[in-house]
Amino acid sequence: MAVPHALVVPFCGQGHVAALMELSHHLADHGVLVTFVYTEYTHRQVKAALPENFSSDYAGRIRLVTIPDGLSTDDDRKDACKLLSSSMNAIPSFMEELVLKINEKDEEKITFVIADGAMGFLFDVAEKLNLPRAAVWTASTWTLATLLNIPMLIEDGVIDENGFQTGDKMVQLSEGVPAFRSAHLLWLPFEDTKITEIFFKCVEKSSESMKGISHVLCNTFEELESPFLDLINNAIPIGPLLPANKAKHQPSSIWAEDWSCIDWLNQQPTCSVIYVSLGSTTVLSQHQLGELAIGVELTGRPFLWVSRPDIMGSFGGAAYPEGFMERVGRRALIVGWAPQKEVLSHPSVACFLTHCGWNSTMEAVSNGVPMLCWPYFGDQFLNQTAIVEVWKVGLELEKEDDGTVGKEEIREKLELVINDEGIRERLTHLEEKGKKATMKGGASARNFEGFVDMMKKGKMSSLEH
């Protein structure tokens, strides 16, 4: 049987790169050769975050390559409009060139493409090159279901043709599935309407492309998202995507992980620590950062806070309230970036103050950690609804009229979420179901093995409709 060779192409965000790298390790463990494609810019970030002597090709089974993203070195990649349009315009031809170059040689030709569902425009390239293809969806299946229903949302007048809502309505995709606010559609929670416009174009294209593919691999499991999985024929749950590679450093983090937090966690009592991380993109104002700092301080509990070097956007590193660092002393540890999966599986962690990114959500669910939700943009609001209203494994923070989350609200909700026995019981149940799904013989494990088998047997034509 020939060794299948997958070209794996993530979108350039942290959660996307991390999830597709995790998947690549699982593929490699199942005998698939992987060529993993970063944009040059992301690769520079990942490389800078790794120790100098880092070298990993995962026993010769994962090759790391780069392509340009179409922007110049000085362009601001935090400008979502710029990044999205240049990705859509430039990456397809760079990917085509890359495949043609690799396949010039007789050996180890690319035999299929696994692209991030957020890069739906790449499936046209795979088709042009006559390569079988599959998608990886790194957000929730619920979010995917909303995308696949865009034509229905337009027809029903929930959104217009450019993706803007016609009013804040409750939407139910089908009988028996939970309703949600139209304002929480993936492309709507952005301050800048230009982002919504271009983001909508991109997701509309992606969702159309994904409809023509028989395997959309989802980082989820049956018991967690069954009503939404039932709505989508080609969504294949293979999650939770747990670490396959146990090595300390992996080429998928865009900031250097500070492992000192694990030693610090080792010194804290069981189930005592508040873990605060708002993901890779959340930006806080000076005032909001101050309220968060004091709110966590007021709990009197130990806390581990991931405060990225750019947590205050262009205003530079965090400026904490006067006397805060002295007052919290050794009770707190603030790091720039943490090995989060390791943190969330640590017995000292009591709860997670989270931005509700899908990877973070899955990591918390898989480790039975209660969540206090603080969504920032995109799918994070729908994830919050799933956490708080559907699975009931977390609580939501109320904002004040000016949009700030106040220190008292933070203190109070942290106490509530830590002491809620019902949340813990429901999480224990989900954690067990998630473990079972990925164990040998579990539904997600079988789905993944079935997918790899098809690739190995070269039955790739059955991967497409």
Which residue of 146, 359, 438, 444 would you call a contact of ligand UDP, by CB under 6 A?
359
- To ligand UDP, the closest distance from the beta carbon of 26 in angstroms equals 15
Closer of 16 and 413 to ligand UDP (Cβ)? 16
Query: Rule CB under 6 A: is residue 360 a binding residue for ligand UDP?
Result: yes
Residue 242 CB burial class (10 angstroms; 0-12, 13-18, ≥19) = middle
Phi-psi sector, 198: left (phi>0), alpha (psi -120 to 50), beta:
alpha
Query: Rule CB under 6 A: is residue 306 a binding residue for ligand UDP?
Result: yes
Half-sphere exposure of 430 (CA within 13 A, CB side): 29
- What is the CB neighbour count within 10 angstroms for residue 267? 10
> Hey, which residues does 156 pair with through a beta bridge?
none
Closer of 21 and 99 to ligand UDP (Cβ)? 21
How far does CA 36 lie from the centroid of its chain? Answer: 17
Exposure class string for 40-50: b at 16+ Cβ within 10 A, else e: ebbbebbeebb
Judged by CB under 6 A, the chain residues 9 through 38 that form the site for ligand UDP are 13-15, 18
Closer of 18 and 185 to ligand UDP (Cβ)? 18
- To ligand UDP, the closest distance from the beta carbon of 277 in angstroms equals 5
By rule CB under 6 A, what string of x and - marks binding of each residue 255-294 to ligand UDP? Answer: ----------------------x-xxx-------------
Closer of 215 and 341 to ligand UDP (Cβ)? 341
CA distance 356 to 18: 16
Give the amino acid at 342.
Answer: E
In degrees, to the nearest 5, what angle opens at C-alpha 260 toward C-alphas 257 and 262? 95
Q: Note whether 295 and 324 are within 8 A (CB).
A: no
Return the residue matching tokens 């189930």: 271
Which residue of 116, 291, 363, 420 would you call a contact of ligand UDP, by CB under 6 A?
363
Closer of 363 and 396 to ligand UDP (Cβ)? 363
By rule CB under 6 A, what string of x and - marks binding of each residue 192-211 to ligand UDP? Answer: --------------------
Query: DSSP assignment, residue 390?
Result: I
Closer of 171 and 344 to ligand UDP (Cβ)? 344
Query: How big is the site for ligand UDP, counted in residues (CB under 6 A)?
Result: 19
Sign of CA dihedral 290, 292, 293, 294: positive
Judged by CB under 6 A, the chain residues 224 through 253 that form the site for ligand UDP are 253
Closer of 228 and 305 to ligand UDP (Cβ)? 305
Sheet holding 394-396, edge to edge: 332-335, 303-306, 273-277, 349-354, 371-373, 394-396
- To ligand UDP, the closest distance from the beta carbon of 386 in angstroms equals 14
Which residue of 41, 187, 275, 358 would you call a contact of ligand UDP, by CB under 6 A?
358
- To ligand UDP, the closest distance from the beta carbon of 46 in angstroms equals 12
Judged by CB under 6 A, the chain residues 318 through 357 that form the site for ligand UDP are 337-338, 340-341, 357
Exposure class string for 455-464: b at 16+ Cβ within 10 A, else e: bbeeebeebb
Q: What is the CA radius of gyration of the chain?
A: 22
Query: Rule CB under 6 A: is residue 153 a binding residue for ligand UDP?
Result: no
- To ligand UDP, the closest distance from the beta carbon of 352 in angstroms equals 11
CA distance 189 to 379: 8
- To ligand UDP, the closest distance from the beta carbon of 151 in angstroms equals 27
- To ligand UDP, the closest distance from the beta carbon of 258 in angstroms equals 8
How many separate helices (H) and strands (E) can be counted in the chain? Answer: 17, 15
Q: Where does this chain bind ligand UDP (CB under 6 A)?
A: 13-15, 18, 253, 277, 279-281, 306, 337-338, 340-341, 357-360, 363
